[in-house]
Amino acid sequence: MVVVPEAICDLSKLQSLDLSDNALQSICPEIRRLRSLRHLRLANNRLKCLPPELGDLQELETLDVSMNLLSALPERLHRCHALQCLTADRNSLHCLPRQLCQLHSLNELSMAANRLATLPLDLGRSPQLQFVFVDNNVHLKGLPSYLYSKVIGCSGCGLSAQVSELRLLSVARGELSVPLPPEVQAVGSETEAVVPLQELAMRALHHAQHSSSLCRDANSLPQILIPRTLLELLGCPVGHCHHCGQSMFTVVYPRIFPLRETALAGMHLRTRVSFVAYCCSIQCVRAFDLQI
């Protein structure tokens, strides 16, 4: 089967759909009509992309798209508020949309054997997310420090000596160099005691947006204040400070903790990853403690 029969999308009360082990090349947008769907399995097909309409499946709890040809996941997946298990092993994913960190019901995330070079800054911030598997992503050298207290799989990560295909900023510690997510625009240094003005302005606008009854979404703010690219960030910050929780937009202050120097070293032998604490200021970087 190459195409999903449209008639399936008329089964409005369908709760489980398994289309694994076919030759599917696309999923029709009409899948959004399956409002009662709880489990969707599309493993081992030939899918190169997923329709944004998957984000309309409000009851979806399990999504398995492993063993396909995916290079990206739709940002709108974060609207699947009931999603508990997301599996996308053995694809060609280069990065994950940071919006996935807004899936507050997500308990297990598996992205093994892809082409990931970075992970979203907030991955693991949700207390509900307990299991994260990113094994055999050879370009992946940094894990958000939030994952230190989770059950993680990172065997085979960071083993490639080649540079990732993506052009990314990086943070270094001695001979270690860890690529940063593409949404990070600038890296603060230890000599910068004052946060850049643009970042401070973004934080102030974000605070106003969420605290004022007159500003309930980014579109209600005067667009003349900031460029549209920055305006879009207000709805979904690049990340939150791993020490104090402050929202961050244009600049981060990272600190590297090589896994081999942590208490987890004996549990993860075939890996060269480091935990990275992303903070909002040099003060938070200095105060951060991975062991807490």
Q: For every one of its 292 residues, what pLDDT tens digit does the chain have, with 9 covering 90 and above?
A: 888 888 898 999 999 999 999 999 999 999 999 999 999 999 999 999 999 999 999 999 999 999 999 999 999 999 999 999 999 999 999 999 999 999 999 999 999 999 999 999 999 999 999 999 999 999 999 999 999 999 999 999 998 766 555 556 788 777 778 888 888 889 987 777 788 888 998 898 888 877 764 445 545 555 445 677 777 788 889 999 999 999 999 899 999 999 999 999 888 889 999 999 999 999 999 999 998 6
Task: State the CB neighbour count (10 A cutoff) for residue 10.
Answer: 11
Q: Where is the domain boundary, 150, 179, 208?
A: 179
What secondary structure letter does DSSP report for 270? S
User: Does residue 269 lie within any of the structural domains?
Assistant: no
Our count of domains for the chain comes to 2
User: Does residue 273 lie within any of the structural domains?
Assistant: no
One domain for residues 31 and 50: yes
Bridge partners (DSSP) listed for residue 274: 142, 258
Bridge partners (DSSP) listed for residue 40: 17, 63
What's the CA gap between 103 and 84, in Å, rounded?
Answer: 8
pLDDT at 213: 47
One domain for residues 142 and 245: no
Q: Give the domain CATH number at 161.
A: 3.80.10.10
pLDDT at 214: 47
pLDDT at 112: 98
pLDDT at 292: 60
Q: Where is the domain boundary, 154, 179, 204?
A: 179
- Give the range of the structural domain holding residue 241, as residue numbers without chain letter: 186-255+278-287
One domain for residues 208 and 173: no
Cα-based angle 262, 266, 271 (whole degrees, multiple of 5)? 80
